[in-house]
Amino acid sequence: MQQLISFTTDYTRYVLKGGTKFYAWMGSLALLIVGMMYVFYLQNTDGLIVTGMTSQISDGLYLANLVFLVGVAAGAVTIVFPAYVYHHEGMHKVAVLGEMLAITAVIMVMVFVFAHMGRPDRLWHMIPPRGIYSFSSMLGWDVMVLNGYLILNFVCGFYYLWCKYTGNPVNQKWFIPLVYVAIAWALSIHTVTAFLMANNPARPMWFHSMMPIRFIATAFAAGPALIILIFLVIRKNTRFWVDDSAIKLLTTIVQFCLGIAIFLTLSEVVVELYARTEHANGLYYLMFGLHGLTGLVPWFWSSLVLMVGAFVMFFMPSFRNDFDKLRIPCAMAFTGIWIEKGMGLIVPGYIPSPIGEVTEYHPSFVEWLMVLGIWAFGFFILTILLKGAIGILLGEIKHGGPAAAAK
Amino acid sequence: MLSVSALMGSAALMTMSDDAKASTEWAEHFQKNYRLMTDEEKAEARTRLERRYSSEYGKKVAVDTTGPQPGVLMGYALNVRKCIGCRRCVHACVEENNQSRGTRPGEKIEWIQVLRMERGEFSKDKMNHGYPEGLGIQVGGNAYTPAGQVLEGQYHYNPEAVPEKDATYMPIACMQCEKPPCVKVCPVRTTYREADGPVVIDYNWCIGCKMCMNACPYWARRFNLTKPVLPKEEMNPVTHYLGNRPRMRGVVEKCHWCLQRTRHDRYPACVEVCPVGARKFGNLLDPESEVSKILERKNVFRLKAELNTFPKFFYFYD
Amino acid sequence: MRKLAIVTLVLGLCGGAFYAVSAAEKAAEPAKEAAPKAPVECFESRKGASEITQRDIKPGWPNVKCSPKTGAALWYGDPYDGTVPMGKMPGLENIPEGHAVIKPRTEKLALMPMCGVSCHNGVGPAFNPPTLPKDKKPKPNPTMEAMVPDLANLQHGRGRIWCMDCHHTTKRNMLVDHFGDPVSFDQPQLLCGKCHGDKLRDWRDGIHGKRIGSFASTGKKRWFTCTECHNPHNVQDGARNRGFAQLQPEASPQLPRGMKDASHEKLHPIPH
């Protein structure tokens, strides 16, 4: 107990210390978070009418980001898996950072769940014993696996940090099995999210069995792409050194998964547009517009260009080996997949409506601010978690205070 | 998460100035799912609602809780040959069911959609304009026309007079499926099929996650983006708990076959105003009812039958 | 600082003025309501067949609600308002007494009171030649053509039927059945069913036409009779291809957020 209190205080004290750059970063994030809270207040007094959602397009940016971030959370497994299954040295060193990212992404997903709901004040209706849990609902399953993943990552991540902090050895007996469970669980969260969308025959855009694998492929491209970017920031701004081998392996994973994602996208295009049934209307709207309405066309093509461009760049040694230039294809892949899963997958599921009404989605300022705010919130948490974790890994936070650390 | 949502509930309530109203809403916030309530709890919820609605709308509002009647399974049939697309059903539904009728986009809710579908034409001069033109695979014999294609319908048609010679009309609302996909996806089981057929929603239990709106193949569900705009004088004071009682912000609503009427043996509002008698409603278990007679005598089809939702809403033609 | 004070002052004044104006408007409103409203009347199935005047049955509960746009009946507070028993109808014997009601058509037909008395009562003014035809053969009849415009070229039956196929020869305020016996204008189904037998059968079972009130097969219903929806003298006019006259549609749905118009609906995704 004594140790736990000192862990908390040491952790907090370390995280709160920082230079001007740190405070400026956290301050600007906090500003966006305040903006998010304000629009959340608007959404829960005036209602979702302040967003661009309608009865036709009943979900938009929020669900899109939710789905995307579940992917990012699952993507963290690309670190944990090589680290613990293949005992990759470089990865093993940073595995806990991946877990921190997973925690952050799941928390962001939950905030997005709150944001897209009409009545977040009634969320307890889902939770027994007062509420009702429905096993037939994919959303119910999604909430369950996400919470499970959050707990798993929290336990694994912080237990590891705790051991480092106290200097005790990690209890392999239950830690390693738990890590394996977490790895399998990572696949489950994104699969269930894919089922959440795909199990709707009413929406032909989503109703195909390729959805889960496409979700996993894009997640394992976007997640590690973000991780590479974060690692490069860490290498630049802290004394913590992420091994080249880790980044190299992640680059390979991003490239392979990105290739699979592009392949799957193009397969879908061919299958849907060859026969061009009315079930392809959503995809057709996305690619070329429907009834003269072309709101999503630029999104689709820009996403395709970004993804293919990034894929090609990953082939070039000049990008692959130069970690300064590596940022470009990583950012491109990340953005491309964000568009593909959001504006390119969620929104065209609603256009046309199941009975053929074509309307367009115009996200409002409130929605953009909310999205921005939640991302800021995510980075806020991530900064804290990573800073604390790095502090412990570097040995700057250690049981017994600075004296012990200095030893 | 429980505590967070409770906290937000209280925060939302704190913004209300009226104490009596706030306390009612507080009690409503913690009431159970309607299906799990005991009879006493139902009666309590009912009086609570009646008191709140009556003060809110300045007239005596009744909230009915009559359950399914034994021996009744409601069914609906619509004669697509007869429909003239006058949209009287759409507006009758709004008068009856207390939908929001504001002017801001999203504040006006209608449960019935009427599609105008082109009869189309196959003419000589269009022979080479068909699909797939330009690929060199097929030339001629292909005057593409959207005749009879539901997904090509118009919703906002507004001619001087209907029916138009070059159009047919197809009204669509909730099909009250026997195997409703919306019920399956609801994470809190607030929407469910009643024993006499209609799929209903406990508006007080709905969390507004909109999964049912994704699942419905008939686009029957509408979302209350804001607090419904319902003028006092236009409010229909005869309501049912699972039916047309005024809804709140952030919940989903849909057609329930006028439960407040049909539970008391009255035709739904849309059936009563259809000027051409295209809309038919009755008890599927009664062989003498008009829907039973239609199923016995006419050619009927279910919309999107391939989805195995088994609507209790049948289209027919003579 | 001073600037700020001025701005605040101006804003405050504006606010005050606005409040005063809105308060004045509020005060004016009840006065407006006190003025007697013009009676609202709406038509039921088709224009010119039957009208209802809106009135309150109980406070806040009207017998009918009318569409402000088209004047059509939109909602029934009392489905049996102004009805009378249907009378004997073959095939409907199972319906309990008084459970089948109709709106009397007789009252709605403007010429009805005169029909039986002034011209066609068999005595009337001494027309020469006598007004009562000897057979059912078509003959030009300027008096009647002036009253029923399409008579000159009656489309009903495409020239194969004539007045006396439906109207009673001597009792002109009655219709006629196959045996030459009179049929009330309130029971046109007995006449129309002579030819439209399949429709009569469907109507009797509730499939054709319209019934309102209780949906149970033995419950009390108001039945809409043939002529409430169809005008037998006018079966073909206008740009329509159905047995029902054209009418103005109710308002179209609201455009969803961000949509400026619905012109895109008229385009089709695969270009012609």
Q: What is the structure's pLDDT at C108?
A: 73
B21-37: burial string, b at 16+ Cβ within 10 Å, e else: eeebbeeebebbbbeeb
Q: What is the structure's pLDDT at C237?
A: 64
Each residue's pLDDT tens digit, A239-292: 999 999 999 999 999 999 999 999 999 999 999 988 888 899 999 999 999 988
Mean pLDDT value of segment C153-168: 85
Residue with tokens 């983006």: B225
Rounded to whole angstroms, the Cα distance separating A46 from B225 reads 8
Interface test with B, best of C32, C50, C207, C264 (most B CBs within 10 A): C207
Report the length, in residues, of chain B. 318
With a cut of 90, say whether residue C135 has pLDDT above it: no
Task: Give the start-to-end residue ranges of the domains of chain C.
Answer: 38-78, 84-229
Min Cα–Cα distance to chain B from C185, Å: 20
Q: What is the structure's pLDDT at A193?
A: 95
Each residue's pLDDT tens digit, A146-176: 999 999 999 999 999 999 999 889 999 999 9
Q: What is the structure's pLDDT at B151?
A: 75
Mean pLDDT value of segment C138-159: 79
Q: What is the structure's pLDDT at C24?
A: 41
Average pLDDT of chain C to the nearest whole number: 78
For B55, the 3-state DSSP assignment is helix
Indicate whether B90 belongs to any domain. Answer: no
**Partner residue facing A291 (CB), from C256, C257, C265:** C265
Q: What is the structure's pLDDT at B23?
A: 72
CB proximity list for A360: less than 8 A, separation 6 or greater: A57, A293, A295, A351, C258, C259
Query: B300 at the A interface (CB within 8 A)?
Result: no
End-to-end CA gap in chain A = 24
Query: A355 at the C interface (CB within 8 A)?
Result: no
Rounded to whole angstroms, the Cα distance separating C211 from C197 reads 19
Q: What is the structure's pLDDT at B137?
A: 60
Q: What is the structure's pLDDT at A402?
A: 59
pLDDT bin (cut points 50, 70, 90) of residue C121 is low
Q: Which residues of A touch B152 (CB under 8 A)?
A: 356
pLDDT bin (cut points 50, 70, 90) of residue A405 is low
Interface test with B, best of A43, A51, A55 (most B CBs within 10 A): A55
Q: What is the structure's pLDDT at B25?
A: 75
**Partner residue facing C258 (CB), from A276, A358, A360:** A360
Rounded to whole angstroms, the Cα distance separating C1 from A176 reads 67
Q: Which residues of B touch A354 (CB under 8 A)?
A: 216-219
Mean pLDDT value of segment B265-282: 96
Rounded to whole angstroms, the Cα distance separating A106 from A124 reads 19
Lowest mean pLDDT among A284-288, C123-127, C134-138, C187-191: C123-127
Q: What is the structure's pLDDT at B1?
A: 46
Query: A357 at the B interface (CB within 8 A)?
Result: yes
Angle at A187 between CA A182 and CA A190, to 5 degrees: 120
High-pLDDT (> 90) share of chain B, %: 74
Higher pLDDT, B311 or C134: B311
How many A×C Cβ pairs under 8 Å?
29
With a cut of 90, say whether residue C249 has pLDDT above it: yes
Q: Is the dihedral of CA B299, B303, B305, B311 positive or negative?
A: negative
Rounded to whole angstroms, the Cα distance separating B102 from B177 reads 30
Query: C269 at the A interface (CB within 8 A)?
Result: yes
Higher pLDDT, B159 or B146: B159
Min Cα–Cα distance to chain B from A253, Å: 33
Q: What is the structure's pLDDT at C27?
A: 41
Strands (E), B42-125: 62-64, 74-79, 113-118
Bridge partners (DSSP) listed for residue C42:
C52
Rounded to whole angstroms, the Cα distance separating A256 from A279 reads 30
Each residue's pLDDT tens digit, A97-126: 999 999 999 999 999 999 999 999 999 999
Each residue's pLDDT tens digit, A65-93: 999 999 999 999 999 999 999 999 999 99
Count other Cβ atoms within 10 Å, centred on residue C255.
16
Q: Which residues of A touch B151 (CB under 8 A)?
A: 278, 281, 352, 355-356
Mean pLDDT value of segment B110-120: 91
Q: Which residues of B touch A124 (CB under 8 A)?
A: 1-2, 5-6
Q: Rounded to 10 degrees, what is the CA torsion of B87, B93, B99, B105?
A: -10
Contact (CB, 8 A) for B156 and A357: no
Q: What is the structure's pLDDT at C239?
A: 61
What interhelical angle do A327-341 and A244-275 show, nearest 10? 40
Q: Which of C212, C60, C37 is nearest to B88 (CA)?
A: C212
Mean pLDDT highest for which of B148-152, B310-314, C83-87, C265-269? B310-314
**Partner residue facing A140 (CB), from B155, B187, B216:** B187
With a cut of 90, say whether residue B111 has pLDDT above it: yes
End-to-end CA gap in chain B = 56
Q: What is the structure's pLDDT at B191?
A: 96
Question: B224 and A118 in contact by Cβ < 8 A?
Answer: yes
Rounded to whole angstroms, the Cα distance separating C90 from C177 reads 13
pLDDT bin (cut points 50, 70, 90) of residue C36 is low
With a cut of 50, say whether residue C29 has pLDDT above it: no
Helical (H) or strand (E) element with C182: strand C182-183
Q: What is the structure's pLDDT at C132?
A: 66
Each residue's pLDDT tens digit, A8-23: 999 999 999 888 999 9
Higher pLDDT, A50 or C171: A50
End-to-end CA gap in chain C = 67
Rounded to whole angstroms, the Cα distance separating A10 from A5 reads 8
For C119, the 3-state DSSP assignment is helix
Residue with tokens 């009634």: A122
Instruction: Please state the domain count of chain B.
Output: 1
For C56, the 3-state DSSP assignment is strand
SS3 letters across chain A: CHHHHHHHHHHHHHHHCCCHHHHHHHHHHHHHHHHHHHHHHHHCCCCHHHCCCCCCCCCCHHHHHHHHHHHHHHHCHHHHHHHHHCCCHHHHHHHHHHHHHHHHHHHHHHHHHHHHCCCHHHHHHHCCCCCCCCCCCHHHHHHHHHHHHHHHHHHHHHHHHHHHHHCCCCCHHHHHHHHHHHHHHHHHHHHHHHHHHHCCCCCCCCCCCCHHHHHHHHHHHHHHHHHHHHHHHHHHHCCCCCCHHHHHHHHHHHHHHHHHHHHHHHHHHHHHHHHCCHHHHHHHHHHHCECCECCCHHHHHHHHHHHHHHHHHHHCHHHHHCCCCCHHHHHHHHHHHHHHHHHHHHHHHCCCCCCCCCCCCCCCHHHHHHHHHHHHHHHHHHHHHHHHHHHHHHCCCCCCHHHHHHC
Contact (CB, 8 A) for C213 and C221: yes
Min Cα–Cα distance to chain A from C250, Å: 19
With a cut of 90, say whether residue C213 has pLDDT above it: yes
**Partner residue facing A118 (CB), from B2, B184, B250:** B250
Rounded to whole angstroms, the Cα distance separating B184 from A196 reads 12
Rounded to whole angstroms, the Cα distance separating A24 from A22 reads 5
Q: Which of B174, B37, B18 is nearest to B97 (CA)?
A: B174
Query: A56 at the B interface (CB within 8 A)?
Result: yes
Q: Is the dihedral of CA C186, C190, C196, C202 positive or negative?
A: positive
Q: What is the structure's pLDDT at A204?
A: 94
Quick one: chain C helix, strand, coil %, rounded to 5? 30, 15, 55
High-pLDDT (> 70) share of chain C, %: 74
Instruction: Please state the domain count of chain A.
Output: 1
**Partner residue facing C270 (CB), from B131, B157, B159:** B131
Contact (CB, 8 A) for C122 and C247: no
**Partner residue facing B219 (CB), from A46, A117, A354:** A354
Mean pLDDT value of segment B250-257: 96
With a cut of 60, say whether residue B10 has pLDDT above it: no
Each residue's pLDDT tens digit, A169-207: 999 999 999 999 999 999 999 999 999 999 999 999 999
A108-127 residues touching B, CB cutoff 8 A: 110, 116-127
What letter represents residue A349's amino acid? G
Lowest mean pLDDT among A28-42, B19-33, B233-247: B19-33
* Closest residue on chain C to A294 (Cα): C264
Residue with tokens 């006493």: B40
Count other Cβ atoms within 10 Å, centred on residue B160.
10
Average pLDDT of chain A to the nearest whole number: 93
For C7, the 3-state DSSP assignment is helix
Residue A227's domain comprises 2-406
Indicate whether B258 belongs to any domain. Answer: yes
Q: What is the structure's pLDDT at A269?
A: 94
With a cut of 50, say whether residue C1 has pLDDT above it: no
Q: Which residues of B touch C229 (CB under 8 A)?
A: 275-277
Each residue's pLDDT tens digit, B173-189: 999 999 999 999 999 99
Average pLDDT of chain B to the nearest whole number: 88
What letter represents residue C93's amino acid? E
Question: B163 and C256 in contact by Cβ < 8 A?
Answer: no
Query: A401 at the B interface (CB within 8 A)?
Result: no
Question: A52 and C258 in contact by Cβ < 8 A?
Answer: yes
How many A×B Cβ pairs under 8 Å?
172
Lowest mean pLDDT among A297-306, C2-11, C14-23, C171-180: C14-23
Task: Tell me the CATH number at A231.
Answer: 1.20.1630.10
- State ipTM: 0.89
Q: What is the structure's pLDDT at B274?
A: 95
Phi, psi of A216, rounded to the nearest 5 degrees: -65, -45
Question: A55 and B251 in contact by Cβ < 8 A?
Answer: no
Rounded to whole angstroms, the Cα distance separating A147 from A275 reads 41
Q: What is the structure's pLDDT at B216?
A: 96
Q: What is the structure's pLDDT at C270?
A: 60
Contact (CB, 8 A) for A294 and A240: no
pLDDT bin (cut points 50, 70, 90) of residue C31 is very low
pLDDT bin (cut points 50, 70, 90) of residue C22 is very low
Cα distances (angstroms) measured from residue A193 to each of A227, A388, B14: 21, 30, 35
Q: Which residues of C touch B283 (CB under 8 A)?
A: 215-217
